[in-house]
Amino acid sequence: MALAAVVLAAPGASAQTAPQGVTELSAGAAVAWSHRDFYAVELGAGRRSGQARLALAAAGGRLSDGWGGRVEARGQFVLLPFARIGLGWYGGMGAAWMGGAGQRGAVYLTAVTGVERAPGRPRGWFVEAGVGGGVRVSAGMRWRAFPNWWPQ
């Protein structure tokens, strides 16, 4: 009887140690250097569950000699996703489309690695670098919405 109580109580206890649904919004600047250089403002949204993050980012700005845009979707693995101090490192892969006025759009496979400040807090900066459609670098702020029981 005691063993059954321990087995049934364990899933509930682990659910209280780490939020399983964290919504994230981000804003920043992004550049991609290739045969068509891209300098842009980027907005993003993501959803974290445990160490996994699904992210979508959209950027608009200067592409070569005209205006252009980039849309990217990726999956990421976050190390120490609920650290309340220090840095959280992450890496991931995905796909992006980039195109602009007077230019043919193209789809790219992407890989990214990044670091963010205190991923277990409601707000923090991030810096990331990756490849796919050129060498890409972005930096900005990320806002997170945790479940109500998570300490702010």
For 11-38, the pLDDT digits (tens) are: 443 444 566 789 999 999 999 999 889 9
Q: Give a yes or no: residue 12 inside a domain.
A: no
Q: Give a yes or no: residue 2 inside a domain.
A: no
Mean pLDDT (the chain) is 87
Terminal Cα distance for the chain, rounded: 38
Q: Give a yes or no: residue 11 inside a domain.
A: no
Q: Give a yes or no: residue 119 inside a domain.
A: yes
- Kindly report the CATH number assigned to the domain that includes residue 33: 2.40.160.20
Structural domain count, the chain: 1
Q: Give a yes or no: residue 39 inside a domain.
A: yes
The range of the structural domain enclosing residue 114 comes to: 19-145
Q: Give a yes or no: residue 13 inside a domain.
A: no
Spatial distance between the Cα atoms of 58 and 7, rounded to a whole number of angstroms: 44
pTM: 0.83
Percent of the chain with pLDDT over 70: 86
Spatial distance between the Cα atoms of 21 and 102, rounded to a whole number of angstroms: 41
Spatial distance between the Cα atoms of 66 and 119, rounded to a whole number of angstroms: 36
> Which one-letter DSSP state was computed for residue 7?
H
Give the HSE-up count for residue 14: Cα atoms under 13 Å, Cβ half-sphere. Answer: 6
Q: Give a yes or no: residue 9 inside a domain.
A: no
